[in-house]
């Protein structure tokens, strides 16, 4: 009997079908279809070699490809094509070697073939879905840019890049958005060494950047008296409400533009990019992660009507609890809250490991799209991924400009600039002067406290 006409037992059929799923062409060779079998075998070898070459040659660049929409689109279609081709091979192989229809073991062989198809299709289609969702996140969050990026120098020769990280909050009783958390992450692009510079929301008499904003507030930002007290956290919404202070900038971008320039002027550095997190959306991100583990030093009252208590100790917080951990000022103040917010961000970053992200990828992606806005362009994302890898290997320092280091009512802005300069350069400096028109401080006349690492600050 010729191999092509041979009848196969259920055991042989199952073995050849499984073999063909693992090594294309096995069933075809077993049935004497050498040309097709060798073609399938060669195609399989080419596919495996291509995948191994990509992993070997691209290696560490895989993460950078994962934030490029073009590559993500190509990966989606490639995975779907592989799933379709693999399924065809399994079904084709089974048809060639399936037992006679009268054989009682045929149903088992058919079930095995169907399971094999599922084992191929489900993870491959899921991976394609992840690639598609990733592309949607990238295109939704990050704007396209026509400006070319130099591969060897994506940061255009800058030794440091500064990101303004904003936590925004709003309430039904308070129209607009208040940026109650403002931190600048200044990153050394060569080493990834990062210093977080925190500014309190209630900073007063904030100097405005040159142009219409300074013309309107020549002596510092005063808001809209008597309706608002004129604090730093009002600048964002003021720019959105009064387009003339940021001419030529469209709605939705006026607030970030003026806030970046204002914060940069306070610190004496240029702010290159910003990322703003809606605090309610941040709670959804934490829930999608399955919670975040935090060490609470002192009990924290939470809830609008003091309906809850977060006891001291190390525990896993839900999104709502984490939101109040970072938001609550009951029995504390703005400055304690600023420190907790940094600890919360640090904990989320550390606990968002690959398995956690993968297990809740789609819900995390949806929450991220709702919670985050940024001006980081798409073509800078690969460089940002590489920079993030460097940051992970360094100890992040944190310096908050809060009392007693400064007075929020009468800030010495020249001192703030000098302190930022010496902190980023790691040179000791003392405060020796007081800005004109400001009141003298009691404690900052001595050497200011050194920046703490986040691990020290959150211990």
Give residue 418's pLDDT. Answer: 95
**pLDDT band at 5, cuts 50/70/90?**
low
Which residue in 415, 382, 419 sits closest to 397, CA to CA?
419
Q: What is the mean predicted confidence (pLDDT) over 262-279?
A: 94
Instruction: Please give the radius of gyration of the chain, using alpha carbons only, rounded to the nearest integer.
Output: 29
From CA 157, how far away is CA 382, in angstroms rounded? 17
Contact 457, 343 (CB under 8 A): yes
Give residue 448's pLDDT. Answer: 45
Output phi, psi for 102, to 5 deg.
-85, -10
Other beta carbons within 10 Å of 280 = 15
Give residue 428's pLDDT. Answer: 42
Of 13-22, 165-174, 276-285, which gets the smallest average pLDDT? 165-174
Q: Token digits for 28?
A: 């075809």
* The dihedral formed by the CA atoms of 377, 382, 385 and 386, expressed in degrees to the nearest 10: -130
Of 110-119, 147-156, 244-253, which gets the smallest average pLDDT? 147-156
Given a cut of 90, whether residue 355 has pLDDT beyond it is no
Other beta carbons within 10 Å of 226 = 6
Task: Kindly tell me the number of DSSP H helices and DSSP E strands found in the chain.
Answer: 17, 11
**pLDDT band at 440, cuts 50/70/90?**
very low
Q: What is the mean predicted confidence (pLDDT) over 429-454?
A: 47
Given a cut of 70, whether residue 386 has pLDDT beyond it is yes
Which residue in 67, 259, 269 sits closest to 160, CA to CA?
269
Q: Token digits for 134?
A: 């990733």
Q: What is the mean predicted confidence (pLDDT) over 66-73?
A: 86
Give residue 100's pLDDT. Answer: 83
Give residue 323's pLDDT. Answer: 85
Q: What is the mean predicted confidence (pLDDT) over 327-348?
A: 77
Given a cut of 60, whether residue 33 has pLDDT beyond it is yes
Give residue 35's pLDDT. Answer: 95
**pLDDT band at 245, cuts 50/70/90?**
very high
Long-range contacts of 37-40 (CB under 8 A, 24+ apart): 40/89
Output phi, psi for 275, to 5 deg.
-140, 130
Contact 354, 130 (CB under 8 A): no
Q: What is the mean predicted confidence (pLDDT) over 287-293?
A: 90
From CA 412, how far away is CA 439, in angstroms rounded? 8
Say how many Å lie between the first and final Cα of the chain, rounded: 78
- What is the tens place of the pLDDT at every residue in 76-96? 999 999 999 999 999 999 999
Q: What is the mean predicted confidence (pLDDT) over 424-446?
A: 47
What class, spelled out in words, does domain 160-198+265-458 have in CATH? alpha beta
> pTM for this one?
0.79
Of 1-5, 95-99, 180-184, 441-445, which gets the smallest average pLDDT? 441-445
Q: Token digits for 186?
A: 């200044």
Which residue in 417, 451, 422 sits closest to 435, CA to CA?
417
Give residue 447's pLDDT. Answer: 41
Contact 265, 209 (CB under 8 A): yes
Q: What is the mean predicted confidence (pLDDT) over 253-268?
A: 96
Q: Token digits for 323?
A: 């939101």
ω into residue 226 within 30 of 0, thus cis? yes
- In the block, tokens 């984490």 appear at 322
**pLDDT band at 335, cuts 50/70/90?**
confident
Most confident of 209-213, 277-281, 324-328: 209-213
Instruction: Give rounded-to-5 percent helix, strand, coil for the chain.
Output: 50, 15, 35
- How high does pLDDT run on average in the chain? 85
Given a cut of 70, whether residue 67 has pLDDT beyond it is yes
**pLDDT band at 103, cuts 50/70/90?**
confident
Given a cut of 70, whether residue 239 has pLDDT beyond it is yes
Contact 223, 234 (CB under 8 A): yes
- In the block, tokens 């004497």 appear at 32
Domain with CATH 3.40.630.190 in the chain: 160-198+265-458
ω into residue 9 within 30 of 0, thus cis? no
Give residue 438's pLDDT. Answer: 43
Give residue 4's pLDDT. Answer: 52
**pLDDT band at 39, cuts 50/70/90?**
very high
Q: What is the mean predicted confidence (pLDDT) over 191-220?
A: 94
Tell me if residue 158 falls in helix, strand or coil: coil
Cα angle 148, 187, 233 (rounded to 5 degrees) comes to 95
From CA 89, how far away is CA 284, in angstroms rounded? 43
Of 35-39, 62-66, 362-366, 393-397, which gets the smallest average pLDDT? 62-66
């Amino acid at each position: 009997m010729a191999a092509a006409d041979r009848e196969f037992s259920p055991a042989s059929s199952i073995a050849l079908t499984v073999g063909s799923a693992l090594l294309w062409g096995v069933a075809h060779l077993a049935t004497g279809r050498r040309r097709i079998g060798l073609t399938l075998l060669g195609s399989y070898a080419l596919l495996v070699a291509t995948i191994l070459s990509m992993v070997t040659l691209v290696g560490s660049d895989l993460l950078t490809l994962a934030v490029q929409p073009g590559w993500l689109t190509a990966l989606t279609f490639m995975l779907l094509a592989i799933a379709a081709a693999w399924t065809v091979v399994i079904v084709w192989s089974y048809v060639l070697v399936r037992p006679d229809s009268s054989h009682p073991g045929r149903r088992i062989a058919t079930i095995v073939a169907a399971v094999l198809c599922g084992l191929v299709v489900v993870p491959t289609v899921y991976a394609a879905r992840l690639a598609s969702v990733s592309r949607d996140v990238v295109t939704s969050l990050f704007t396209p840019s026509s400006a070319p990026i130099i591969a060897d120098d994506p940061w255009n020769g800058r030794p440091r890049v500064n990101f303004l990280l904003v936590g925004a909050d709003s309430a039904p009783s308070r129209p607009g958005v208040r940026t109650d958390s403002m931190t600048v992450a200044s990153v050394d692009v060569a080493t990834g060494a990062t210093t977080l510079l925190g500014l309190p929301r209630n900073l007063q008499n904030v100097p405005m950047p040159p142009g219409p904003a300074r013309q309107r507030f020549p002596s510092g930002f005063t808001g809209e008296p008597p309706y608002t007290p004129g604090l730093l956290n009002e600048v964002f919404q003021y720019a959105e409400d009064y387009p003339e202070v940021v001419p030529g900038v469209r709605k939705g971008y006026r607030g970030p533009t003026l806030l970046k320039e204002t914060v940069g002027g306070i610190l004496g550095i240029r702010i290159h990019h910003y990322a703003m997190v809606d605090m309610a959306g941040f709670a959804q991100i934490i829930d999608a992660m399955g919670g975040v583990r935090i060490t609470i030093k002192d009990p924290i009252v939470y809830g609008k009507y003091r309906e809850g208590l977060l006891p001291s100790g190390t525990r896993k917080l839900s999104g709502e609890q984490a939101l109040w951990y970072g938001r609550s000022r009951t029995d504390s103040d703005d400055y304690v809250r600023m420190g907790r917010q940094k600890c919360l961000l640090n904990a989320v970053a550390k606990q968002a490991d690959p398995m956690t992200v993968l297990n809740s990828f789609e819900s995390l992606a949806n929450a991220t799209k709702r919670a985050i806005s940024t001006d980081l362009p798409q073509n800078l994302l690969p460089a940002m991924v590489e920079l993030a890898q460097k940051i992970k290997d360094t100890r992040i320092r944190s310096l908050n400009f809060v009392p007693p280091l400064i007075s929020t009512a009468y800030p010495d802005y020249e001192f703030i600039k000098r302190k930022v300069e010496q902190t980023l350069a790691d040179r000791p400096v003392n405060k020796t002067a007081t800005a004109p028109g400001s009141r003298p401080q009691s404690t900052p006349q001595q050497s200011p406290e050194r920046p703490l690492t986040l691990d020290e600050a959150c211990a």
